[in-house]
Structure 1
């Protein structure tokens, strides 16, 4: 079974198990640091990496252009990025920017739930699909 590893430079800080019935999917969400607009991306865990399935954004702003094929409904622009699986997703994580959220079947937690609050000593985190260890779970380490 695949899970989601959180860490940096190959070091695993936490493994998040996604229940089998969830199809090994999760949503990553955050607010743009300047525009404060919500951004969400849905991913599927695969042996090749994180496959983005769909994305949503509430509006435009600096560096937030909406693709031409996006459709507006449910108060957001929805689109499907056509990208190959991402082996490793690196996220900037400075304290001033706020935290990312991970959601599994509508249950959302900030990344700090698993790996502590953003700090200036390590201003990035990496996410990747990984085989779960027998002790992996959805609680902070």
Structure 2
């Protein structure tokens, strides 16, 4: 049985919307729940988004990424929380409008702190799993059997 998780790939390794096995690595991270966190490079405001990885709705369908909750530590120019956000202990909390994104395109730069990958309250830089090439990293729900070694 294949395990659920997240596949990370550099955009340079992707063609036509699917992972191309030739150009670069695809890293599988086994998980069904995680938090993606970052600090805005100019406003220095922390943002956190909680996700789940769920099996596809029908046999043979790819797993899906589900946005559960999000929070932002304050408000700043261009980072206003949505109107339905609730302020709790200094965090604006809300449910993302796009509940099941196809995947996430993470812009990573040598000039800013990396995204943080958090599980059970323990956070580490995303670079622990896949170093940045200074461009886009794609994050998608996947099964371990769908990746290569």
Match of 2:60 in 1: none
User: How much has 1:83 moved relative to structure 2?
Assistant: 1.7
Instruction: Return 5+ residue gaps in structure 2 as ranges.
Output: 57-62
- Shift >2 Å, 4+ stretches: 46-49, 133-136
Match of 1:5 in 2: 7
**Distance change >3 Å, CA 6–CA 134, structure 1 → 2:** closer
**Distance change >3 Å, CA 135–CA 36, structure 1 → 2:** same
Alignment root-mean-square deviation, CA: 2.2
SS at match of 2:53: strand
TM-score (norm 2): 0.78
Q: Which residue among 55, 69, 93 is the counterpart of 1:54?
A: 69
Q: Which residue among 86, 95, 103 is the counterpart of 1:71?
A: 86
Describe how 1:72-91 pairs up with structure 2 within 5 A: 72-91=87-106
Match of 1:27 in 2: 35
Q: Which residue among 129, 132, 135 is the counterpart of 2:144?
A: 132
Equivalent pairs, count: 129
Within 1, Cα distance between the matches of 2:40 and 2:81?
A: 14
Match of 1:114 in 2: 129
Structure index of larger Rg: 2
TM-score (norm 1): 0.82
Within 2, Cα distance between the matches of 1:64 and 1:85?
A: 21
Within 2, Cα distance between the matches of 1:110 and 1:13?
A: 17
